[in-house]
Amino acid sequence: MQIFMSERIWGRLPEELVDAILAHLPIPVLLRLRAVCKRWNALLSCTGFLHLCSQVPQKRPYLLFTGLDFILRKCICEGLIFCPSSSRWYRFPLDFLPFPSENIIGVTGGGGLLLVCSALYSAELVVTNPVTRAWKILPTFHRSSSRPSLAALVVNKSKATYTIVAAYDSDMTTYVYESFTNVWTKTANMSFDAQMRPVVCNGIMYCVHDDDITLIGAYDIEKGQWSTFKVLSGAQLRFMENLFDPQTHSQLVESCGRLLLITSIQEMDSQASARTGGIHVWEVRPERQRKKCNLVEKMPDNLMTYFQDGFDVFAFHNAEHEEALLFIACNSPDAWRTSTLLYDLVEKSWEWTRVPLSPEFIPMLGFSGFPMELSLTSLP
């Protein structure tokens, strides 16, 4: 049952109480409320109100997507943000950035900041706050002739600084940018053919080897050092022994401070059709000397067939699900409506879920996304 407050009571509330209520609203909603009146529009530039917002406990990260319009054959010049708590989409135009609007690509994000580059001029990296529209072109360096193979952005809120880690090419030559010095520093390199989407968990950037789902690369951001470790033993992969020429796919996800590895193993038959050997969720424990991976769950066989042509996974949190994973099939533009599967890590249950889809998202078959916070105070 919905309860509505009388307009007479609402209109008599002290401004301080109204501000406290507004500070608890999701940031996309707060941005829309600027059109209500001049005072609410001015709040977002008021130091006192921004401080009040910073004291509100952070909600779970949003999911931000950028991508390609496969109909018009160009990049989509805006970010699309999905809010898990309200199951709503919000548009964040990126046409204010110093690139041709049709060539903007999101690289990574964190702490309310977004790292982007141009599809044409990928050597130039820009950090922006998509909420406040503040942006900064990062200094270039001699190795930055292409888009980073891997990148991570970590914000230190207490010091109001951020760190960017960018690794290039197959030798993973790694550069670190510190916002307080405005300087890139070359730190380390490692011969490692990594997948393009790393995750940061407890100060370490992790990535999976592109051809070996059992091998993980780890970059210690504080120490500036690379290392590798195996996560799956022969016993844990014994079910692969009966598969001929298995096709593998894996993805790392950070969820509530835990590092999760999702693996998919399929066998190709003589008609070149896939027969799924298993989709598994593992918890990775890098600090252990032995058995660094524990099996969390195996996707039921009757569900796996929907994800044979590929899928993406995101950590998902809302009022009904304290910690969950969202599996999205990547085989059709209607995948978000028809093949979106949620696994609750607490209840250990699977359920199909219907994610309301924004019309602007329909042509984005080439989307790439990552979780990120929204912030009114983070400065690039």
Q: What CATH number has the domain bearing residue 177?
A: 2.120.10.80
The answer to the question of residue 88 being in a domain is yes
The answer to the question of residue 379 being in a domain is no
Query: Are 267 and 125 part of one and the same domain?
Result: yes
Task: Give this prediction's pTM.
Answer: 0.83
Query: Are 49 and 137 part of one and the same domain?
Result: no
> What pLDDT band is residue 70 in, cutting at 50, 70 and 90?
very low
Q: Whose CA is closest to 104, among 90, 134, 124?
A: 124
Q: Which of 208-222, 297-311, 337-351, 361-375 has the lowest mean pLDDT?
A: 361-375
Q: How large is the angle between the packed helices 47-55 and 15-23, nearest 10 degrees?
A: 50
Residues 262-286 as b/e (b if ≥16 CB within 10 A, e otherwise) read bbbbbbeeeeeebebbbbbbbbbeb
> What pLDDT band is residue 234 in, cutting at 50, 70 and 90?
low
The answer to the question of residue 15 being in a domain is yes
pLDDT for position 75: 53
Answer with the residue of higher pLDDT: 221 or 104: 221
The answer to the question of residue 216 being in a domain is yes
Query: Are 47 and 65 part of one and the same domain?
Result: no
Query: Are 133 and 162 part of one and the same domain?
Result: yes
Query: Are 145 and 34 part of one and the same domain?
Result: no
Q: Which two tokens stand for residue 92?
A: 């964040």
CA–CA dist 112, 130 (Å, integer): 8
Query: Are 313 and 325 part of one and the same domain?
Result: yes
The answer to the question of residue 1 being in a domain is no
pLDDT(341) > 50: yes
pLDDT tens for 182-208 read 999 999 888 888 877 899 999 999 999
Query: Are 131 and 153 part of one and the same domain?
Result: yes
Query: Are 36 and 115 part of one and the same domain?
Result: no
pLDDT for position 31: 82
Domain count, the chain: 2
Full residue range of the structural domain in which residue 132 is found? 58-372
The answer to the question of residue 273 being in a domain is yes
The answer to the question of residue 106 being in a domain is yes
Query: Are 41 and 168 part of one and the same domain?
Result: no
Query: Are 318 and 258 part of one and the same domain?
Result: yes
